[in-house]
Amino acid sequence: VVTSGRGVCAISIGDDRETLIRDLHDQFPRTELVEGDGAVGATVAAFVDDPARGLALPLDAQGTAFQQRVWRAVREIPVGATASYTDVADRIGAPHAVRAVARACASNALAVAIPCHRVVARDGALTGYRWGVARKRALLDREAGA
DNA sequence: CGTTAAGCTTGAA
DNA sequence: TTCAAGCTTAACG
């Protein structure tokens, strides 16, 4: 979990601590990463354990105007529910930008906080996920149970 | 069931 | 500014 002065600006998932840190450093070149303890990390972990309670943290999502719109729409998907790329496209007023929506999700830095894992193909299939389809399925399963 | 074209944003060249 | 590519999708052969 990476925080800026304004809030959480990145949440990432990975198997290997090394690569994870390297990637983050890559993503925030001008930033000195401080390894922390964190109350914030704990909060996020708790949220993953029990998605139903919601994540009460200030988010500092950085992206283009289009991405912001997509992310906002995605955050409105209720826990345990899913939406198709088409649904999201409709919701942001760009019914034909389906593929662009996918790309926006793909470039989301805030894993779980912005539930791009709740966006699936129109037929319900889990087509892809930045951190691996397996994780996407795991998250959805957990939310469905809640 | 495999292809194909439509459609929009992004990051790199 | 041009271009290829993406977590798509509906239509076709």
Give strand B nucleotides closer than 7 A to any protein Cβ: 6-11
Catalytic residue among A116, A119, A120, A140: A116
Q: Nearest CA to A101 among A118, A124, A119?
A: A119
Rounded CA separation A101/A50 (Å):
27
Residue A116 is a catalytic residue? yes
The residue type found at A79 is V
Residues A109-119 have pLDDT tens digits of: 999 999 999 99
Q: How far is the CA of A135 from the C1' of C8 (A)?
A: 21
Structure tokens at A14: 């990975």
Residues A35-75 have pLDDT tens digits of: 776 789 999 999 999 999 999 999 999 999 999 999 999 99
pTM confidence score: 0.93
Nearest nucleotide to the CA of A126, by C1', is: C7
The residue type found at A102 is A
pLDDT computed for residue A38 by the predictor:
78
Q: How many CB atoms neighbour CB A127 within 10 A?
A: 13
Tabulate helix, strand, coil % of chain A (nearest 5): 45, 10, 45
